[in-house]
Amino acid sequence: MAKRVKLLDVAKAAGVSQGTASNAFGKPDLVRAEVRERIFAAAKELGYRGPHVMARMLRTGKAGALGVVFPDNLEYAFTDPVAIELLRGIGRECAQQGVNVMIISAENQQQAIAAVNNAAVDAFLVHCYSDNNDIIAAIQRRNQPLISIDTDIEGAAGTVALNDFAAGQNAAQHLLDCGARKFAILSLQATEHDHFGPVTAGRLGAASHRVVRERLGGYYAALKQVGIAPTDIVHVECDNQSDHSAKMTAELLARHPEIDGILAMSDVIAIGAIDAARAVGRKVPDDLKVIGIDGIAAGERTDPPLTTMYQDTVEKGRLAAEMALSDGSGKTITLETSLLVRGSSKVS
């Protein structure tokens, strides 16, 4: 086996110190252009593969990267509008501070644990994931900062979360103000275990996802004020995909034609609900009012445009990355939503 070429070998060949050679690769602005070129030429001639990540971590104590853990597959991170905005915010702060981002999918638990164990990162951001699982335990064994985003993780170094209770409460209150009285809730998944369609109070009560628990609580609080109990509401659990929520909504409206208000836990779900209503001949907002939560750009293009509780997801991601890269710990940042009224609801 050929001997691995070390940075010291490159430095000697280029006639510079090992520190200068290291800066050429890690902090090139500190090295004159002609010296950098001499170092790179020597590295190419010797077959140097570049700085060893783990060696750099041992020397500096920093990997220069953040790990972002999503509960879904990697495709979701690049296609879901909220995930994209969150990553935009994380990327914005990382670019500002000169660090990189590693995305880890938690869809396959064993692969995710292996990725966590081998990740050359300085901290982890965990998005919308419960704390009762082996992946979180693997992260915590790393003894590095863990920042929870829209989830509750015991022992997290910090948390950035939406005020989901207020978002749900204000969404339900708006539809009440618009005259709706027969409600259906199109819920995100309540637990890690897939279940789609009508759901029981028991499953909702056992919800492991903070977002679902808090938004449900907010909906219930507003509706209780006018005498509408949880048992008076039709609950349907949806995959966070518009085509799936459209199918669920079509079935819902066939079984319960009396429904005149739909509380969707995400804009993606709400968009599917509007599409289904149009397909089955229900007029939005005249006899069916729909509101989502998120404020994604696609909501402006529905027919009619979607009323929603807007959140600044980019800023959420930026704040989480900033917290992960700071020396502070134990901090919680709670972000508020704002009502964005469009054509899918109107005051009677």
What is the spatial distance between Cα 212 and Cα 190, in angstroms, rounded to a whole number?
6
Instruction: Tell me which residue has tokens 């090992």.
Output: 18
Instruction: Tell me which residue has tokens 């609900």.
Output: 273
Instruction: Tell me which residue has tokens 């396959």.
Output: 108
CATH among 3.30.360.10, 3.40.50.2300, 3.40.50.720, 3.20.20.100 for 65-162: 3.40.50.2300
List every span in the chain annotated with CATH 1.10.260.40.
Answer: 7-51
CA distances from 298 to 78, 271, 278, 302 (A): 15, 8, 17, 7
Per cent of the chain over pLDDT 90 is 65
Instruction: Tell me which residue has tokens 């005259």.
Output: 179
The CATH homologous superfamily to which domain 164-311 belongs is Response regulator (3.40.50.2300)
pLDDT tens digits for range 188-245: 987 766 678 787 777 777 777 889 999 999 999 999 999 999 999 999 999 999 999 9
Mean pLDDT value of segment 149-158: 90
Q: Which two tokens stand for residue 87?
A: 């990553």
pLDDT score, position 323:
94
Cβ burial, residue 75 (10 Å; 0-12/13-18/19+): exposed
Task: Tell me: pLDDT of 67 over 90.
Answer: yes
pLDDT score, position 267:
98
DSSP state of 6: P
pLDDT score, position 155:
86
User: What's this model's pTM, rounded to 2 decimal places?
Assistant: 0.83
Q: What is the mean pLDDT of the chain?
A: 90
pLDDT score, position 1:
44
The CATH-assigned architecture of domain 7-51 is Orthogonal Bundle (1.10)
What is the spatial distance between Cα 103 and Cα 1, in angstroms, rounded to a whole number?
33
Q: For residue 19, give the nearest of 3, 31, 5, 1 by alpha carbon.
A: 31
Task: Tell me: pLDDT of 300 over 70.
Answer: yes
Among 127-131, 160-164, 257-261, the range scoring the smallest mean pLDDT is: 127-131
